[in-house]
Amino acid sequence: MGIHSGVVIELSQVHFGPAGFPADARGKIERVFQILVDAGMNALEYAAVHGLRTSEDRAKQIGNLARQHNITMSMHAAYYINIASKDPQIRERSRQRLIKALKFAPLMAVKRIVFHPGTFGGLSPEKAHIVMRDSLQSVWEEAGHLGKGAFLAPEIAGKLSMFGSIEQIIKLCQDVDGCIPTIDWAHLYARRQGKMTDKESYLKVFNQFENELGKLFLDNMHFHISAITFTEKGEASHKPFGGEWGPDLYPLMEIVHEVGYKPTFICETPNPLEGALYAKFLLEEIKKV
């Protein structure tokens, strides 16, 4: 990648950070970045999950502080994006939310706009893909250039009823300009009903993405991590690391170390800063062995 918003992005290291501002910052922007730096974090996912409601001035302040402190920024777009909805108005509002995110991305130094594609809208998976592909392509043609290097990053879905299997996310990234995958390992674990427990199962996922997407995947790895509970329908709730919940983070970190991958890890545990610190500690311990 290299250049983004006039800033050279250093890809020679793994990035760790929380989803959303640390609670202790109480919304004070300078404090957010001071907490991250003091904790040894180098990434942050801005939570626009209830809509991107920040002003341009505040967005610029976030971007300036991120650049000053070498924090790699991403953004999680609204949860209620639903690109293949039965309702044409919801489809169009979903498109506009992504367009706005692309416009704000360079102000905030954001490189990844993470989003859930949504439901199938009563369509077959194949038809839902076509609707989403065409809509996302129109977003990119209209506003991709405004993002100044930011990618749209559709995410693996935690619920089986939602669009977002590995194959569905890969196909979107193959068919739409400006799309890279977000692998949410906890969601994948929930989708697979806990059947992702060892190094081999993680490696198969890496191989699938690498074989299908090549450098687009290898150069832009964006991962969400958390422990999780699930039902037969998939994701139930995110949990802290270190309890009885899966998935086991250790084999994932072993692979990252052994292969030399350079992902950004965004933690979505109930205390995401604490979780990100745990994940970073784990990788550092593996490096010592």
Residue 5 has pLDDT above 70, yes or no: no
- Per-residue pLDDT tens digits for 140-178: 999 999 999 999 999 999 999 999 999 999 999 999 999
| Tokens of residue 51, six digits | 């809509």
d(CA 219, CA 4): 14
Q: How far apart are the first and last CA of the chain?
A: 31
pLDDT at 89: 96
- Per-residue pLDDT tens digits for 56-106: 999 999 999 999 999 999 999 999 999 999 999 999 999 999 999 999 999
Q: Is 56 exposed, middle or buried (0-12, 13-18, 19+ CB in 10 A)?
A: exposed
Whole-number mean pLDDT of the chain?
Answer: 94
Which of 11-20, 152-161, 180-189, 212-221 is predicted with the least confidence, judged by mean pLDDT? 11-20
d(CA 61, CA 30): 9
Q: Is 211 exposed, middle or buried (0-12, 13-18, 19+ CB in 10 A)?
A: exposed
Mean local confidence (pLDDT), 46-51:
94
| Tokens of residue 68, six digits | 């000053």
pLDDT at 27: 81
Residue 276 has pLDDT above 80, yes or no: yes
CB 92 within 8 A of CB 49: no
pLDDT at 1: 28
Residue 12 has pLDDT above 80, yes or no: no
pLDDT at 2: 30
Mean local confidence (pLDDT), 206-229:
97
Domains assigned to the chain? 3-288 (3.20.20.150)
pLDDT at 108: 98
For the CA atoms of 175, 142, 125, 252, the dihedral, rounded to the nearest 10 degrees, stands at 60
